[in-house]
Amino acid sequence: MGPFKLNFIICLSLIGASTIGELSASIQDSLDVKGQPIPLVLLAEAPVSVGTSFGSILKTDAPKATTVLDLSELKTAVALTEALEFAPGVDIRSRGPWGIQSDISIRGGSFEQTALLVNGVRWSAPHTGHHLMNVPIDPEDLGHVEIVRSGSGAMAGAGAFAGSVHLRTPTGDVTDGGSAAIEAGSFGWKRLRLHADMKAGNSIQRFSMSRAETDGHVDNSDAQITRAMWVSDWNLGAERWKLMVALEDKAFGAQNFYTSTYPDQYETTQAAIAQLNWEKTGTNWRASAAAHGRYHRDRFELYREGTGWYQPTEDGFYVRNTLGSQAEADTAGLYARRALRNVLKPYEPASWYAGANQHRSLTAAVNGKFQWFLDQSAWTFSADVREEIIQSNRLGAAVEGAPEMYPLADQRSNVDALVSWRGHSESGRLAASVTSGANLNSRFGTNFLPSADVRYRLGPDQEVVVFASAGRSVRHPSFTDLYYNVGGAQGSEDLLSEWADQAEAGGRWVPQQGNFVLEASGFIRRGRNLIDWIKYEQAVPAQDVYQAANLSSVDFEGWDVSATYRWDASILRRARIAYAWVEADRMEQDFISSYVLDFLKTKLDLVTDWSLPLEVNAGVRYSMQQRNQPFAYATGNEVFHLLSLSLERAWGEQNQIRTAIRMNNALDEQYLDIGQVVQPGRHYRFSLIFDLKSEE
């Protein structure tokens, strides 16, 4: 037994034999009988509630490794994933810049193993996790983002397998006014954004709209993105309501996105979200509830259709004639790509192609939570009930009387429920919780998700916090995992749910002035029945097919460390440096892994903010990333370095005009995040922002 695992066993003994192998999904607070935080001198940050059942806490008091991104890290990004690229322990794998399509992975987990929660409600994408980040919210419309670098199955629900990302819209007071932003940049980038805030009595209304487009950095990488959102807050004293309605429409050339065999792909997606949150606080209790609906539509063309691309013929094929000669035309559905003509083998028939994949899904969920606060303890009861439905021409079973465009369909019900107890010592130094969670799925049965955590404050000023946690998480196959069977990919209806036992231990040091935080943690995640898309290298008969399959077991372990410092009056206003390392105990054996064994092995991040002369604010973002690639890509580097630079200045008597410039990939790295999708080199974005406030 190595020292790494031995240290974990020692740490886990702190939380008792009943919690061994179980990882808490909660980041919870210490509360007295009135539900108020115990006063401490800690980092001056807004309270967060990452995966918690008990309310909000100071980030520095959390019993799990966390990262909080505030508005200063979000406002210079045009997509949430652009900001998350430099977050500790987070792997952003992009198929295009500016949020066209990106996957989020945490601590070696796959893109399907990260949960997304918005204002405390889990959002799910049952079609495929590739669409989870089709979030109709501009980064400027968020208050902050909370990242949990650990499984959160009991608290955050199914899908919070390796970690979770929590988005919070602003809740503070506003001044009537608005803003308008105009952007231009490399590769024909253009963006227009409008935002307005209004306050009327006890309510606050927030509106925003944005439209962005780009010609693309390579052929067939053009894109258009449109978003619109309305958020309404009502504060009725002990009772609060929040309504959010948001829309997003994307259309983009998907060059090599899912396969390099047929590179000329194209995709359009639409997402519509409606969510209502309610909360009421009593003398020693708090109740909350939410209703959520997400409609998503996807049209995917393996051969891009349109003028200059592939067009249907009378005999049922799709033909692209770029050379003017019918004999030289490229015919989809009859032959494979012309790019293969130099391969020393005849063209292979591809008559399976019959046009675009069409999918639409609906997720409808309701949840409720009740908290009861005692003198030195608290109880929480909660449940989330959701229905996930898909209609498609590729996924599901045949349905009599179904629409012609969507002849197949499937649906399933999912319930996440928990009972949790948390107690703390009279001094507040020690706090611990035990949670009994359960997931009930109409197709995949019942999974019990126990968890526990403990944290203890050390030192006369309680500047040091040590924590440990353990628990279980689960993730069910997506409809794509189960049914997809097109273009060299073969799903499996026999897939089982994947699950993992996880453990984490760590600590953080927060000196009394609260401007410095040093955090370090280590983890073990024992994954079972992990879902992957694999290709057997010596299949009999030989097949060039990726199949969805359950890998028997893969164990991940790793550690991360980060340090953050804030200066109140200095040229350097903030600095954060973080390093993360992940390792798996299994390598490929006679198969190629698409996801499970293709993870980010090491990552070094540096984030700094500067206050320069002439009232110029500057930002520097750097990330070194090394992948544990299971197979060699044709081009690209296993280790690459990303550098982002930004400058911003405000003008006018009331700083009502701001100008900004941002340069991404300043080192002009040539790299691949995934597959054969070449990422853009050095590119720029110029912004002009007008802030309009009503006169008092």
Q: What is the pLDDT of residues 614-660, one digit of tens each?
A: 999 999 999 999 988 755 444 446 789 999 999 999 998 888 999 99
pLDDT at 692: 85
List the single range of 319-323, 476-480, 541-545 with lowest mean pLDDT. Answer: 541-545
Tabulate helix, strand, coil % of the chain (nearest 5).
Answer: 10, 55, 40
Domains assigned to the chain: 3-184+396-693 (2.40.170)
pLDDT at residue 352 is higher than 80: no
Confidence of residue 35 (pLDDT cuts 50, 70, 90): very low
Of all helices (H) and strands (E), which one includes residue 514? none
Contact 388, 426 (CB under 8 A): no
Please compute, for residue 131, the number of CA atoms within 13 A of its CA located in the half-sphere on the CB side. Answer: 28
Nearest Cα to Cα of residue 242 among 251, 234, 250, 252: 234
Q: How far apart are CA 37 and CA 533, in angstroms?
A: 46
Higher pLDDT among residues 362 and 595, named by residue? 362
Contact 553, 526 (CB under 8 A): yes
Alpha-carbon torsion, ordered 386, 387, 393, 397, to 10 deg: 130
Q: How far apart are CA 42 and CA 543, in angstroms?
A: 59
Provide the H-helix boundaries in 318-406. none
pLDDT at 326: 52
Higher pLDDT among residues 534 and 226, named by residue? 226
Nearest Cα to Cα of residue 92 among 620, 634, 484, 605: 605
pLDDT at residue 297 is higher than 50: yes
Contact 367, 290 (CB under 8 A): yes
Nearest Cα to Cα of residue 287 among 367, 209, 210, 368: 368
pLDDT at 631: 52
Q: What is the mean pLDDT of residues 33-53?
A: 35
The size of the chain, in residues, is: 696
pLDDT at residue 506 is higher than 80: yes
pLDDT at residue 134 is higher than 60: yes
C-alpha 345, offset from chain centre: 42
Nearest Cα to Cα of residue 604 among 578, 627, 583: 578
pLDDT at 541: 52
Q: How far apart are CA 55 and CA 288, in angstroms?
A: 11
Provide the H-helix boundaries in 60-116. 71-74, 80-84
Q: How far apart are CA 175 and CA 656, in angstroms?
A: 14
Cis bond leading into 541, ω under 30°?
yes
Q: How far apart are CA 131 and CA 128, in angstroms?
A: 6
Q: What is the mean pLDDT of residues 377-388?
A: 96
Residues ≥6 apart with Cβ < 8 Å to 226: 209, 210, 211, 212, 247, 248, 249, 250
Residue 430 to residues 128, 426, 574, 626: CA-CA distances in angstroms?
41, 8, 31, 38
pLDDT digits (tens, 9 = 90+) for 207-252: 999 999 999 999 999 999 999 999 999 999 889 999 999 999 999 9
Contact 473, 25 (CB under 8 A): yes
Query: Which of the 8 DSSP states describes residue 134?
Result: -
| 603 CB neighbour count, 10 Å cutoff | 22
What percentage of the chain has pLDDT greater than the value 90? 64
Higher pLDDT among residues 162 and 31, named by residue? 162
Q: What is the mean pLDDT of residues 410-429?
A: 94
641: amino acid identity, one letter: H
Structure tokens at 218: 């390579």
Q: What is the mean pLDDT of residues 474-492?
A: 91
Nearest Cα to Cα of residue 511 among 559, 545, 460: 460
When the pLDDT of each residue in the chain is averaged and rounded to a whole number, the result is 85
Nearest Cα to Cα of residue 500 among 6, 166, 149, 160: 160
| 585 CB neighbour count, 10 Å cutoff | 10
